[in-house]
Amino acid sequence: MSKDHLDELPSYRDATRTWIRHRRKSRFTRLLVVALSAYLAFGVYRIATNTAKPPGTLSVTKLRDNHATCAKLRRIPSEIEASREVNKRWVNGTKPILIRNATIWTGEPKAGTSYEDARLGRSYEWVSSDVFVDNGLIQKIAPSISIEHLPHGSEIFDANGRQLTAGIVDMHSHAGLDSLGNLQSDTNELSSDITPFLQSLDALDPLQPEIQWIKSGGVTTSLILPGSGNNMGGEAFVVKFAVGKQNGRTEISQEDMLADPDKNWRYMKMACGENPKGVYGKYGERGPFSRLGESWEFRHALEQATEYVNSQNDWCAAADTNGAEDMTTYLPQELKWESLGAVLRGQVRVNTHCYTIPDLEAFVRHTNEFKFRIYAFHHAHQTYLIPEVLKRAWGGTPAAALFADNMYYKVEAYTASDKAGKILYENGITPTYVSDNPVLNSQHVIMEAAKAHGNGLPYHVALAGVTSASAELLGLGHRVGKIKEGFDADIVVWDADPLSAGATPVQVWIDGAPQFKDPVALKKPTTPPAKHDSVPNDDVEMRSYENVVFTGISKVYLDEAEITHDESVTAVIQNGKLACIGTCANELALAHQSNTPIIDLENGYITPPFTAFGSTLGLVEIDAESDTHDGPPPKEGVSRAVDGLAFDGKQLARAYEHGVTRAISAPSTFSIDARGISTAFSTGAKHSLEKGAIWQDEVALHYPLTLRAKGDKTPSISSAVGLLRSKLLQAVHDVSANDSTSTGKEAYEEKSYLKRVVSGTLPLVLSAHSADTIATIIHLKSEIESVIKETDTEVTSKLRIIIIGGAESYLVAKELAAADVPVVIAPLRPYSQSWDQRRSLTGAPLTNGTAIDILIDAGVLVGISVEEVWETRDLGLLAGIAYANSEGRLSFKNALDLVGANFDTILGLSKHDVGLSTEGRDWAVWEGSPLEIGARLRGLGNGARAVVWQKS
Ligand SMILES: *[C@@H]1O[C@H](CO)[C@@H](O)[C@H](O)[C@H]1NC(C)=O
Ligand SMILES: *[C@@H]1O[C@H](CO)[C@@H](O)[C@H](O)[C@H]1NC(C)=O
Ligand SMILES: *[C@@H]1O[C@H](CO)[C@@H](O)[C@H](O)[C@H]1NC(C)=O
Ligand SMILES: *[C@@H]1O[C@H](CO)[C@@H](O)[C@H](O)[C@H]1NC(C)=O
């Protein structure tokens, strides 16, 4: 290419010069506007610009277009749409459908209910009815709609009495912005902190499989936000998850997914606090480095956008007065400030990621300084502490878009409360529940609402928090989020109460089109909705007694057999131990005489307490803060978790309050991928010297074999497996040579632990998700075992290998069973968050069961663990989900064992080792099923005393 040719191209510098000139002009204009009246300003402006651009060189057509644009700039999005004959998203040809015999949550109280009663949830109820859908709209809700009068070709879906709700609306998702297995991400544009001009839609990939998975959880509509790396991240878009012909659309297209084809409202994502600071703060180089800098970034951007809007308004006012043709400049237009300008014009619904009081209150100031409205603070973990500050936001009180109990993961989240939703609602702030997919799997965002309900938020508010309230915050409340005549036909029929453990859609409709061709329905009995008005009393105090009595116990699961009592029974605790369960007449009489506290329960349960295996409980307090961790495993050799345990943290307290009294943790900074020796301890202990605090110093040897195994020493999975193989072979050699190096300090060296592994006395726990890696492990096991057999030792030839993770383990379920390798599933419901999990089963209605079902069918011994430490409080609930969706594979007792007794078997712990109490059984007393939403722990055995949560 010749140099001459290159010279003809406009240079980048030309473009910047134009830009600077334009900027100078608009700043000049702004000064004049401030100083003079609008008219005078216009006159001077005209003179000033006349000198810049001689008259007569402007296109009249373009000036007229500019003037037409003025009308658009002034447009205020309409709140209420005129009643519709047809849903604009409807695809002509979609068959009308009659859904018969549904139990419907309409999302509204009965007509005529007062505001006060509605807030209290009165006259919200489930109604038995049919629903007729046509033209993409809910046409009719009535009991027994006759088939005769339906249009020709109508389809019929029999709901068989099952629960029906509006499609779930997740107002914080990044679905479709990352590719499968998180290989590629288009969530954050991290080139600059202020990027209001970006559009998430530009990156949305309609073919990402997660879109179908998420929808299989009943989610029909989502706000797809850019990430929170930037203070101003860019524009967001509300989409519906119907893609292409298979979902009843005519084409595969980003635009076709827009929930509102009219694009009435626009949306924008902003973010405060740790994230932008962490991305941009480069010492001495660039900001924002602190929250001080962040607020300046906001103000500086808003100031420039204000200036831009003013210059446009001036132009439009002048064009109105003098006629567009007489204008001597074009309408000022700059793509960079167009979106933020629209925010200031009230055309954009701003959603901001802010956690803490400083962030929230500074942002409330910004709304008042620049007069724009914030619709919802997201994450918002401290909003519950400052409802009155939120009410001072300009233009209206923002909502709080929350997680139910995902907290403590960073400093900003360390003051969170699982009562936040309840407290906010009581103080006049709307809580909604979101996934921040992929942070949580949006497929199960309904569980966030369910857990919030379990934590005291009224049923109707919790369900509204993923349907109507979210739709309203998106400006779609007049057509999305309720089951109401004239609304978009986005409908879910559930196989159980939607706010119960494991509730799963049977079918999902978007704009009246069924989304699943041959949906798998779990075999569940049709059950009536939960009693939605009862939330357990939460005003409890934690007390400690030697002796206490519980009455009202209906279910006892302490022994092999489960005992269900028709008439409730009594449990008498003496010296922290269960002394009697039953009528206990003598013990009761004694208790009365000695003024022993008696705690009356409704629907009481007694179970063994739960065990958290393979989490970082006791080793990680705040995930994002290394000072709060024990720290990563050493580069060479192994360490013992027992030497780094830290007691008395919030993570442990929450686990304990949810019945997780025992934890087995191994050195790690990220969950299941540990390296070193795990220890078993009591989550309720104050320190390690307390009696019963450590109940087994050394439980198992752990190594990672997920993608996280790739590191400096082992850059590949093959080298990590190779290193493990050579260590194990060396250990076999050491044992057979009777190399007696297992005394003194050598006892704590990796090779001694490996010798115990090959001698069959120490379990080996390997993290792995990929079915291929798991197959390799099974092969390695038999390889080592046959070498052991050939050696002339008395040691057992059985290696006790345990897989933790296991997203794809179901693919080799039979082989795992044959090799006698147990699997600890973590997470219970994987969603292909890494490439080695890409074949995860997401469950009904898309897949016939999930990994755990197939493992159980194959006879594999299974436990349930979690990836993130905050989730340990939900272990009971996770077992409940496995139970509810097991189609009878699991008894209630089996389900409890998934987070309890199975670990004793898997790890070969003797009953004696496991007890918190030195004699007798461990016990936990609950009000409500510990496997369901809303269960309350009321008592725990703790050595010679009982810890009791007593109503105050
Ligand atoms: C749908 O298509 C049919 C056949 O082309 C046509 O008769 C009908 O008017 C269309 N309906 C609407 C609402 O556009
Ligand atoms: C509705 O479903 C329930 C539960 O399956 C059934 O008992 C009832 O008979 C059904 N009602 C009608 C009208 O079909
Ligand atoms: C190993 O050596 C110890 C003494 O160091 C001895 O007591 C034991 O019998 C030996 N075991 C085998 C299997 O040779
Ligand atoms: C699901 O799998 C189970 C057992 O693996 C089988 O019995 C059942 O027929 C399957 N159901 C469907 C709908 O394929």
Query: Helix 60-74 crosses helix 291-322 at what angle (to 10 degrees)?
Result: 120
The rounded Å distance from CA 879 to ligand 4 centre is 21
pLDDT at 157 over 70: yes
Q: Which residues are CB-contacts of 717 (< 8 A; sequence separation ≥ 6)?
A: 705, 707, 709, 710, 770, 773, 776
Q: How confident is the model at residue 4 (pLDDT cuts 50, 70, 90)?
A: very low
pLDDT at 899: 98
92 lines ligand 1 (CB under 6 A): yes
pLDDT at 7 over 60: no
Other CB atoms within 10 Å distance of the CB of residue 326: 14
716 lines ligand 2 (CB under 6 A): no
Mean pLDDT score, 869-880: 98
DSSP state of 488: B
Evaluate the omega torsion of the peptide bond into residue 143 and state whether it is cis, within 30 degrees of 0: no
pLDDT at 28 over 50: no
| Among the listed residues 850, 863, 882, the one whose alpha carbon sits nearest the alpha carbon of residue 823 | 863
Range with the poorest average pLDDT among 87-91, 143-147, 536-540: 536-540
161 lines ligand 2 (CB under 6 A): yes
pLDDT at 742: 59
pLDDT at 122 over 90: no
State the Cα–Cα distance between residues 12 and 491, nearest whole angstrom: 52
Q: Residues lining ligand 4, judged by CB closer than 6 Å?
A: 520, 848, 857
Contact 405, 870 (CB under 8 A): yes
Q: Whose CA is nearest to atom 10 of ligand 1?
A: 92
Residue corresponding to tokens 């033209």: 135
Other CB atoms within 10 Å distance of the CB of residue 1: 5
Looking at the CA of 850, name the nearest ligand. 4
156 lines ligand 1 (CB under 6 A): no
Angle at 874 between CA 871 and CA 877, to 5 degrees: 145
Q: How confident is the model at residue 50 (pLDDT cuts 50, 70, 90)?
A: very low
Looking at the CA of 91, name the nearest ligand. 1
Mean pLDDT score, 881-902: 97
Q: What is the pLDDT of residues 501-526, one digit of tens each?
A: 999 999 999 999 999 999 999 999 99
Residue corresponding to tokens 């109460």: 497
Ligand 3 closest atom vs CA 740: 5
Phi-psi region of 385 (alpha: psi -120 to 50; beta: other; left: phi over 0): alpha
- Which amino acid is residue 814, in one-letter code? K
Q: State the SS3 of 149-164.
A: HCCCCCEEEECCCCEE
Ligand 2 closest atom vs CA 161: 2
Indicate the average pLDDT of the chain.
91
pTM above 0.85, yes or no: yes
Mutate to test the pocket of ligand 2, among 98, 99, 101 (most ligand atoms within 8 A of CB): 101
Q: What is the pLDDT of residues 605-642, one digit of tens each?
A: 999 999 999 999 999 999 999 999 999 999 889 999 99
Burial readout 786-815 (b: 16 or more C-beta within 10 A, e: otherwise): ebbeeeebebebebbbbbbbbbbbbbbbeb
pLDDT at 55: 57
Q: What is the pLDDT of residues 835-869, one digit of tens each?
A: 999 999 999 999 999 999 999 999 999 999 999 99
Output the six-digit token pair for 726. Answer: 């050579």
The rounded Å distance from CA 415 to ligand 3 centre is 57
The rounded Å distance from CA 159 to ligand 2 centre is 9
Percent of the chain with pLDDT over 70: 90
Contact 499, 450 (CB under 8 A): yes
Spell out the domains of the chain, with CATH numbers in brackets: 168-514 (3.20.20.140), 536-608+921-952 (2.30.40.10), 611-920 (3.20.20.140)
595 lines ligand 1 (CB under 6 A): no
The rounded Å distance from CA 732 to ligand 3 centre is 15
Q: Whose CA is nearest to atom 14 of ligand 2?
A: 101
DSSP state of 528: P
pLDDT at 285: 86
Query: Helix 771-790 crosses helix 717-736 at what angle (to 10 degrees)?
Result: 20
pLDDT at 280 over 90: yes
Ligand 1 closest atom vs CA 135: 13
Looking at the CA of 739, name the nearest ligand. 3
| Among the listed residues 130, 126, 99, the one whose alpha carbon sits nearest the alpha carbon of residue 110 | 126
